[in-house]
Amino acid sequence: MPRMRFPQRTTTGYADRRHAGRVLAQRLGGLELVDPVVLGLARGGVPVAAEVARALGAPLRVCVARKIGAPSQPELAVGAVTAEGPASFDEQLVRSFGLDEQTLQAACERERAEARRRERLYQRGEPLSLAGRDVVLVDDGLATGATARAAVRMLRESGPRSVVLAVPVGSPDSVAALRAEADVVVCVLQPVGFAAVGQWYRDFRPTTDEEIRDVLAESD
């Protein structure tokens, strides 16, 4: 599938994740997708992905990637892991904190175990085969892009026809970097001066496990 770029549109942001998903789905409507599967990055990406899956008439599943936070700034992801496979690191950030992969090993193992736990928690029925299908990976936004990068690399191992990364808002630098990982990157808003995903949502309350289970039940 050829790479596609979409023009940036200036807005004041989104009411909540569901609203963001409906806007994002409109941007995805022009893609010619083959037997698509929509994967929401847990947790916050799942309500967004539910609206995308509904609009595309595609099945919805959950993808789990866990960030590895900087020791002094745990909310800043210097890397991420999925349930299987190697960790993915932002080498520049790792160096800036004077870290290396060995010192982050314990954090990687802890977050990998949590990713496996959540995969079991969110699993509904038999796993879907992604081979030969267009996979749409959805999150509520891109800050460093660490978890999205780890998830895209994991999904590549399943042999999809393509991986489309779709987000309502993101850091322009992270969006540009992820274009080297995904076949297509769709990001509705790439604001200059981006600081955090939450600033572009009026309601950015944490998504709970219970909400994810409810969303998945609605999509059945």
Taking alpha carbons only, the member of 78, 28, 83, 76 closest to residue 52 is: 28
Report the top-level CATH class of 17-65+123-219: alpha beta
Q: What count of other Cβ atoms lies within 10 Å of the Cβ of residue 195?
A: 10
Highest mean pLDDT among 8-17, 77-86, 131-140: 131-140
The 8-class DSSP code of residue 216 comes to H
pTM of the model: 0.88
**How far is the C-alpha of 86 from the C-alpha of 153, rounded, in Å?**
10
Predicted local confidence at residue 62, as pLDDT: 94
Beta carbons of 137 and 152 less than 8 angstroms apart: yes
DSSP bridge pairs for 185: 165
Residue-wise pLDDT tens digits, 138-167: 999 999 899 999 999 999 999 999 999 999
Tokens of 27: 């941007």
Domain boundaries, the chain: 17-65+123-219
Q: Which of 25-39, 84-98, 140-154 has the lowest average pLDDT? A: 84-98
Extract the tokens encoding 137. 């990976």
